[in-house]
């Protein structure tokens, strides 16, 4: 601004995202005031960034105000609202928002996602993530032939998906969990605990979301695949 440049919507979104991650409400509110003062376009991206910043800094009612002012609401803005309620101890509000979201028919924009994924394949043909995105999209729509085509394309181009890895620090010791990694004693204990949690969740009536399994198999087999994937992570 000192150089004479006026920040626009893109800059506002970037700064708001940083404020949310850092939990600095005062600076985030300054950006909000700037948006109002300069009459920047309150599109879905700016609105989502404002909601996210307010939710992460614990001011959920402000996030709700922004949500109500948005002329266009998508699955992302709804998810931020629900997440904001849940993370700030407003469980009932989160459930009500989720019911409203379902009632209004908010869902994934599959055609647009497919178009974007195919464009990414052309722009970045050597990135495994783009193939995985497209395969997952076809899987969620139960388009199994297309899933097979994407995998065949990966094989023909020599594209390999890197194994998933996550880390956790316990008592200043970092534990790494890699897909297909060897089971150690501590990992076996974690797996046994996961199995017990899985049983308790089933008794409590939990329904497994099998949409993420990109194989054309029965629902029960999908649940097994999901749980064995968790096991392989250990």
Which pair of tokens denotes residue 41? Answer: 């376009």
pLDDT at 210: 57
Closest CA to 34 of 23, 50, 45: 50
**Residues 88-94, mean pLDDT to the nearest whole number:** 92
**Residues 50-72, mean pLDDT to the nearest whole number:** 94
Are 174 and 167 in contact by the 8 Å Cβ rule? The answer is yes
Average per-residue pLDDT for the chain: 80
Residue 51: which H helix or E strand, with range?
helix 44-56
169-180 pLDDT, tens per residue? 677 777 666 655
Q: Tell me the pLDDT band of 230, cut-offs 50, 70 and 90.
A: very low
pLDDT at 19: 94
**Residues 85-97, mean pLDDT to the nearest whole number:** 92
pLDDT at 228: 52
Pick the more confident residue, 108 or 60. Answer: 60
Find the range with the poorest average confidence among 17-21, 61-65, 192-196: 192-196
Are 234 and 193 in contact by the 8 Å Cβ rule? The answer is no
pLDDT at 50: 96
73 burial type by CB count under 10 A (0-12 exposed, 13-18 middle, 19+ buried): middle
**Residues 19-34, mean pLDDT to the nearest whole number:** 93
User: Where does 124-184 have alpha helices with state H?
Assistant: 128-140, 144-157
Is the whole model's pTM more than 0.75, yes or no?
A: no
pLDDT at 44: 92
**Residues 33-39, mean pLDDT to the nearest whole number:** 90
Q: Is pLDDT above 50 for 234?
A: no
Find the range with the poorest average confidence among 4-8, 31-35, 121-125: 4-8
Residues sharing a CB contact under 8 Å with residue 107, sequence separation 6 or more, in sequence order = 75
Percentage of the chain with pLDDT > 70?
73
pLDDT at 3: 66
pLDDT at 169: 67
**Residues 91-118, mean pLDDT to the nearest whole number:** 81
pLDDT at 120: 84
Percentage of the chain with pLDDT > 90?
33
pLDDT at 47: 94
Closest CA to 217 of 137, 139, 103: 139
The string over 126-150, giving b where at least 16 C-beta atoms fall within 10 Å of a residue's C-beta and e elsewhere, is: eeeebbbbbbbbbbeeebeebbeeb
């Amino acid at each position: 601004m000192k150089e004479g440049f006026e920040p626009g919507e893109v800059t506002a979104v970037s700064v708001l995202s940083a404020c949310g991650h850092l939990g600095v409400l005062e600076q985030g509110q300054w950006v909000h005031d700037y948006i109002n003062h300069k009459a920047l376009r309150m599109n879905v991206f700016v609105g989502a960034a404002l909601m996210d910043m307010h939710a992460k800094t614990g001011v959920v009612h402000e996030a709700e105000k922004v949500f109500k002012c948005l002329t266009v609401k998508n699955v992302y803005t709804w998810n931020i609202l629900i997440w904001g309620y849940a993370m700030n101890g407003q469980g009932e509000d989160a459930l009500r928002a989720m019911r409203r979201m379902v009632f209004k028919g908010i869902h994934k924009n599959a055609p647009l996602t497919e178009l974007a994924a195919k464009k990414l394949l052309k722009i970045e043909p050597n990135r495994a993530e783009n193939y995985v995105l497209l395969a997952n999209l076809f899987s969620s729509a139960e388009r199994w032939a297309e899933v097979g085509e994407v995998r065949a394309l990966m094989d023909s181009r020599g594209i390999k998906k890197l194994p998933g890895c996550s880390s956790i620090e316990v008592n200043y010791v970092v534990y790494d969990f890699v897909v297909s990694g060897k089971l150690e004693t501590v990992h076996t204990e974690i797996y046994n605990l996961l199995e017990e949690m899985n049983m308790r969740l089933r008794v409590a009536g939990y329904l497994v979301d099998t949409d993420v399994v990109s194989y054309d198999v029965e629902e029960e087999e999908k649940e097994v695949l999901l749980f064995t994937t968790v096991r392989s992570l250990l």
